[in-house]
A and B are shown apart, each in its own frame.
Chain A
Amino acid sequence: MSVQDVDRPLMIGNRSFQSRLLVGTGKYRDYDETAAAIEASEAEIVTFAVRRTTLGQSADGPGLLDIISPERYTLLPNTAGCYTAKDAVRTCHLARELLDGHNLVKLEVLGDSETLYPNVVETLKAADELLSHGFEVMVYTSDDPIVAKELERRGCAAVMPLGSLIGSGHGLQNPYNLRLIAEQAEVPVLVDAGIGTASDAAMAMELGYDAVLVNSAIAHARQPVLMGQAMKQAVTAGRNAYLAGRMPRRQSADPSSPFAGRIND
């Protein structure tokens, strides 16, 4: 029995994906490194930010969407940097225009610039409005199981709690809450922030997450391309371990080699 027989593709709305690793495009040294690391990660969904064009500068040279093309990748514009529902909704409308009507967005509404912790009140408001305008919303939120369920109930396509603060690399700080969220979810759940290294990504998948979203851990690794590959392997390993089902923990030792037939018997 091959792994393909066991697992299903990741479904976000009616889109299906083989990869369960989503990656961001921030913090890379340059576009070459961005492209190479994402290639190595084999991610199919790639996030980006929407920002004012810099005026008065030459428009020569490639833009991000020339490197990460909408033909090859499923692009996921984010609302990073928005502190109100209104700004987040405006940003999503701009992103939809930018991508010729593409409806899938990553909603994040932040509470303050120190923690970048999600403001769930504004997030709920923004989610309602975006859903009423026909967006498919993958939503960044806290690790509160009640809020996660509420976002699902309102119609979000995926719920994405933080493992720890954005860009902190502190891994999964509350695996118990994260497990509760995964266990009760009826839409895909992703760990969206805080992944610091491959084992964090594997742990998220072992907890039952459908996918993880990683940016800083790849972009700020000493060798981003190698870390992109490591994350791919970790997500696959964690997913397979989850599907395989871990052995029960025991209080005492249990020899792997049989006692019978020992030469000192």
Chain B
Amino acid sequence: MDERVSLAIIGGGPAGLAAAAAARERGVEDIVVFERDTRLGGILNQCIHNGFGLHTFKEELTGPEYAGRYIEKVRQLGICCETGSMALSISPDREITVVSREKGLRVVRADAIVLAMGCRERPRGALNIPGTRPQGIYTAGTAQKLVNCMGIIPGREVVILGSGDIGLIMARRMTLEGAHVQVVAELMPYSGGLKRNIVQCLDDFGIPLKLSHTVVDIRGRRRLEGVTIAQVDRTGAPIPGTGIDYPCDTLLLSCGLIPENELSLTAGVALNGATNGPLVDDRLQTSVPGIFACGNALHVHDLVDFVSEEAGRAGTHAAEYILNGGHGAGPCVRVMPGEGIRYTVPTTVHLGDGDDQVRLRFRVRDVYKGRAIRVTSGGEAVLLKKRRIMVPSEMEDVAIDRRRIVDGDLRVEIVEVEP
């Protein structure tokens, strides 16, 4: 006998919790959150630094505090959360195979599903860094878990490759824990993390950031003994003769995050090659009806506040899908990433005469100073927004009146500002 629920949410991190709360507030009674870890909160539990919640709560919280607000909310709303439960697969008609210690292996059928599995870090192997494979190489997030949740310092002499936010945060954390962070190397000519993290985590501690540099060799048989860092040319290829050896026992990698969608693929959800997240419409519905996506499983965010907001919308749309017995198909237009735009979320938008705003989120390909974001609908400009600076490490977010969208491609692009 199959179990049935109205809404199943896969992942009890910030995205899943916000989606659950929003769906309950919109009127869905029967909700279950499946969380594979032993506790709710996701990666926020290991983010003990502050800086979370400035948008959502207008105050500065640590990661666990931010998660705590949503965990409390979900508890107050009486939403069922199963921790230690991992969804193994989802069928296209929304039968979820779940496994846990307590309840064993079972199938749960859901009227709608919100995918909120988060993302993973790009490991050393995927970076094709040559050399040996000793102990002492960690992704920044793994090191963060060891230090902040388990009280283990993975090493004393540290080199960091990649200037993603977790790498920057860990440069500071390792320094505060008494380790010596020698250098942060970044392959690109610009940082992969937020400006405030460069200032607060590197500059304030005198840790050098070497842009256009990468690790070209790893040494040490059992334990890491050293790495070589070299300058790279514009194509990312190391420039011969620029290598410098850094003796170290620890190498942290902060070289990009990848939305985790192996589960989505089991349901037949189509992915966007640019994000590795599902292709979604402006209701955050994937290519499979009744399956929605949000948070870092959809695309990698810079701030958790934006995750919560987006996940709330996914929860609301999922609730409407359930309460209305499905969404009307309705005409859609495509959202096309134009000049300077790496991707957009969503990639399709429903036409309609509602007075709501359509949110478009995207990342730019390069550093742009003094340019503008232009959105056109069927060739007509519907939005022009000047921006002092745009960088690939920060997500951009614009809103458009739905009534201004006509039948024709929506195009997002970076344009010169007319004098």
A and B interact: no
Give chain B's interface residues, CB within 8 Å of chain A.
Answer: none
Give chain A's interface residues, CB within 8 Å of chain B.
Answer: none
